Structure 1
């Protein structure tokens, strides 16, 4: 069958004659930032990312016509199975029989506190490839409960097993390993009460909302800084200072470095042994790389910020988006074993999963199973989309992580019966791409729309303002006008009734969204419209106090008196106004 728009680009490039045709029309193909990923897409998909040809239908038609003339018998070499595609099973004779059982030195604290990381440091063997040749785990017991934490190799003969105790009292542990020296190590520790700022990992609460393990309400107000941990210490420390002063309590961040527009520099370190020139050994993670990443997660936790850890993404020129199924699973086992005992972790399987053309639907279900098997603390899991929404009915999906504008938030909530987090709704900025040059007013409008419709939202910023350091990817300094308005929005949200889990969509006969707590609290948002007055119809018998909230100028004006049943409120006739109605307690 001749090559055409539906042929996978990588298949075309394996055919010498077909490759010559493609390069005739795409002479700078090798300069494409996403070439590694584009090779897994259909030719028509790949062209959609390429300047010039993307907007030239005549050139596209000529390319397709010339490709169709390549002889059908022409074929490139048959792809060989890569070493990365073969899993490695730890052997039972990794250490000889004369090595005493449990002879490795174990370093541990005698005590821990609830919802803080407890660690076993084991000094064990270094021969072979300890990353793949050694299996290590420990069973932690508290009374009748037993939880299993998996260990990981941290280089230099050091193995670590991390655990986050969630109950006070005496815990015991016992290790299991194919390495005799690491087998059957036992011990105990005492877990004391949580510190005043330790609330435990975030869980789904009341079906559509979130709370920490200790019952503290969590209202996610997030931001995106995809590659902030790959910028070098000076900018990364600057990012942490900016976050400390910001309203954000969640950050979306990629484990792997990013290659895309405004992201062309090499990162200071890489996740695996090897180099861009010589290639990578996906069976040997670089412990220093992951140690650095986890340090940043810990620092976020100290600021009260959740780390939404993105495990895969398509913006890649190094090959990390296409390591092969076995290497993907090994990487996940390593990362989850290493990070799962950090209380402020969320797992995001992908940023824009539907652009990761090398991975099929089965990959995501298999990855979720790996995570669940290696995370004894059941952190949240979501899958972020580009265009095609992920099927969030999957039982392992805890919340919907969505890239869209926010008007359909209530529909998604109803469709999947899970919390909705609109993690990408556009970016305030001034770059050349439409997704990154929203006016700040539009950014804030979308955020309020999502919140009033019962969801949660994530900020983003692509402000140039004199340099090419964009918060969206690099971190650094927040330059835009929306972050201050996000802080104001967060304050309004935190003034919900204390026992309310969050905002739910409320029925309304009006043409504007209303959310809140039935019979007790209502929040109506008018967006860019500018009414001078607005009628309301609420349940009779309940009196309400009314506030007019200017979401852009960040003011709250309480209207005099109380209101009940059917009434009309005066409004300022300006845009970005919300009305808050709170039931009187007396």
Structure 2
């Protein structure tokens, strides 16, 4: 019996060391290979043990950091970007972890695996396999710090919502309408007391991470991946107010946290890095330190995931090469025509207006947009060749607000945002203003496809007229669809328009034809080449 028991123990041990490797012997391109090794538990494994691994496919070598995952388990994760055979060798200060070798096969990706999102055509995005990606995001700052039942409701909501990106914090948030204690904390707790008001006060061991916290975060990022949603991970934020102290760890602990976080998450294909939400409101970190933190994240990520930093009142140096795109808080940029494109022309990078105020009924000025105003913001952004992020701040039962905790959506804009997303994804390519100097209503994908947005303006008719710049030659024919962006209807008009010769800045129909428009705001016109 003792012999059988010993055999069973050795079998379980072998699974803990090699089982993950064998199970992952075939890994899709852009998926995760994960190596799990048993190692020392004495002392402080987070501080005392270094682990990394070098992966090679014969032509290139990529080194990635490993991490301690608790209970004597050490892990190394790798996202292969090329199909073929990969070999690895571990490097560690611990003899039991050093020099471990193995191999796996990287196979072609499945139909729902398009790889990480990248920058494309200067101002836009695509997946690594070349598939176009148009960010239609929403805000869920603290959704992973809620009871499991609420988190599951949030995932069900997202499964039926139009959003393909979620802005979310790593650390819990202590702010109006989200002051609950989370189920997990990122650090090991040394002591907990109560203040004069009976609220908890904590002491942490900042040299020891709590693996369960990060395991839970990873599970939710994978849940988003299954839904086709990118996780825009906010590394730091100012909404702590000294309650936990996670916003004031000190530079040394901040960098340790970044190393641990990137070692765990860089291999997730649907991760984006957002260095901070409202970086300038994090008063415990000097502005110069953000360069240090940004470089630490970028240098620890061998896959080049998208990276940005979000502002409060002051923009950061978004032109710096570490930032792949620009994440902006500024509601005025999408309140009217011609504004959204201005910052794009400053930074020459994709513009994502991640905070333009929220649809809801809060008293704060940023929390009570109407559904019409939220929808209008999206159209203003898209027409200008930029992108906008949604958020909802209606009060639900139990003070559950989607923007903070998740739950159910009750606003009227998500359906309209989904309608716009479908229109954009049906276009032959991303939109650009046709004549950004003089016409901020007309956007085009190419000379055969135009989208004109009229906004709040109600006009009785529209004369066929397009900017001449980059426009179609004389003789080409077009048809027009009238889109009601609020009621989500598309009315194809019977008229066929033929382009006339012109020496002006505009292109007209030969007969200078006009079409009647319904007396309603928020109309758009989709103009497509007509091939008989």
Asked if these proteins are the same fold (TM beyond 0.5), I'd say yes
Which among 506, 514, 521 is matched to residue 575 of structure 1?
Answer: 521
Which among 468, 474, 482 is matched to residue 413 of structure 2?
Answer: 482
Shift of 1:143: 2.0
The alignment partner of 1:506 has SS state of strand
Q: Do 2:138 and 2:163's aligned partners in 1 also have CA atoms closer than 8 Å?
A: yes
Which among 85, 91, 101 is matched to residue 170 of structure 1?
Answer: 85
With 275-284 and 328-337 compared, the bigger mean Cα shift is at 275-284
The residue that corresponds to 1:390 in the other structure is 316
Q: Do 1:221 and 1:247's aligned partners in 2 also have CA atoms closer than 8 Å?
A: yes
Q: Does 1:360 align with 2:275?
A: no
The alignment partner of 1:534 has SS state of strand
Shift of 1:585: 4.3
Shift of 1:517: 2.0
The residue that corresponds to 1:277 in the other structure is 201
- The CA deviation string for residues 525-575 of structure 1, in whole angstroms up to 9 with x for no partner, is 122121112332344423222111111000111111222331434321311
The residue that corresponds to 1:338 in the other structure is 264
The residue that corresponds to 2:152 in the other structure is 237
Q: Do 1:106 and 1:123's aligned partners in 2 also have CA atoms closer than 8 Å?
A: no
Shift of 1:199: 0.8
Counterparts of 1:314-463 in structure 2, within 5 Å, are 314-316=238-240, 317-405=243-331, 406-407=333-334, 408-463=339-394
The alignment partner of 2:150 has SS state of helix
The residue that corresponds to 1:215 in the other structure is 130
- Provide closer, same or farther for how the CA distance between residues 473 and 381 of structure 1 changes in structure 2, counting only shifts above 3 A: same
- The CA deviation string for residues 109-162 of structure 1, in whole angstroms up to 9 with x for no partner, is 322111111100010111111111111111111121111111010001100000
The residue that corresponds to 1:491 in the other structure is 422
Q: Does 1:523 align with 2:447?
A: no
Provide the C-alpha distance between the structure 1 equivalents of 2:531 and 2:122, rounded to a whole number of angstroms.
27
Which among 485, 488, 496 is matched to residue 554 of structure 1?
Answer: 488
- The CA deviation string for residues 245-290 of structure 1, in whole angstroms up to 9 with x for no partner, is 1110000000011111111211122110115534111111100000
Q: Do 1:204 and 1:210's aligned partners in 2 also have CA atoms closer than 8 Å?
A: yes
- Provide closer, same or farther for how the CA distance between residues 510 and 571 of structure 1 changes in structure 2, counting only shifts above 3 A: farther
Q: Do 1:105 and 1:124's aligned partners in 2 also have CA atoms closer than 8 Å?
A: no
Provide the C-alpha distance between the structure 1 equivalents of 2:52 and 2:306, rounded to a whole number of angstroms.
22
Which among 409, 412, 434 is matched to residue 506 of structure 1?
Answer: 434
Provide the C-alpha distance between the structure 1 equivalents of 2:442 and 2:89, rounded to a whole number of angstroms.
54
Provide the C-alpha distance between the structure 2 equivalents of 1:577 and 1:467, rounded to a whole number of angstroms.
38
The alignment partner of 1:162 has SS state of strand
Q: Do 1:512 and 1:526's aligned partners in 2 also have CA atoms closer than 8 Å?
A: no
Which among 41, 49, 59 is matched to residue 126 of structure 1?
Answer: 41
- Provide closer, same or farther for how the CA distance between residues 251 and 187 of structure 1 changes in structure 2, counting only shifts above 3 A: same
Structure 1 unaligned runs (5+)?
1-103
Q: Does 1:254 align with 2:169?
A: yes
- Provide closer, same or farther for how the CA distance between residues 582 and 283 of structure 1 changes in structure 2, counting only shifts above 3 A: same
Shift of 1:215: 0.9
The residue that corresponds to 2:3 in the other structure is none
Shift of 1:183: 1.3
The residue that corresponds to 1:54 in the other structure is none
The residue that corresponds to 1:543 in the other structure is 477
Q: Does 1:182 align with 2:97?
A: yes
With 508-517 and 334-343 compared, the bigger mean Cα shift is at 508-517
The residue that corresponds to 1:301 in the other structure is 225
Matched length: 480
Provide the C-alpha distance between the structure 1 equivalents of 2:277 and 2:294, rounded to a whole number of angstroms.
15
Shift of 1:331: 0.5
Provide the C-alpha distance between the structure 2 equivalents of 1:112 and 1:491, rounded to a whole number of angstroms.
32
- Tell me the TM-score normalized by structure 2: 0.88
With 183-192 and 461-470 compared, the bigger mean Cα shift is at 461-470
Structure 2 unaligned runs (5+)?
1-15, 193-199, 500-506
Shift of 1:466: 4.7
- Provide closer, same or farther for how the CA distance between residues 585 and 413 of structure 1 changes in structure 2, counting only shifts above 3 A: farther
Provide the C-alpha distance between the structure 2 equivalents of 1:106 and 1:465, rounded to a whole number of angstroms.
48
- Provide closer, same or farther for how the CA distance between residues 510 and 414 of structure 1 changes in structure 2, counting only shifts above 3 A: closer
Shift of 1:106: 4.4
- The CA deviation string for residues 393-433 of structure 1, in whole angstroms up to 9 with x for no partner, is 10010000011123432111111110001111111101111
Provide the C-alpha distance between the structure 2 equivalents of 1:447 and 1:347, rounded to a whole number of angstroms.
23
- Provide closer, same or farther for how the CA distance between residues 220 and 184 of structure 1 changes in structure 2, counting only shifts above 3 A: same
Shift of 1:511: 6.1
Provide the C-alpha distance between the structure 1 equivalents of 2:458 and 2:131, rounded to a whole number of angstroms.
37
Q: More strand by proportion, 1 or 2?
A: 2
Q: Aligned-residue CA RMSD in angstroms?
A: 1.6
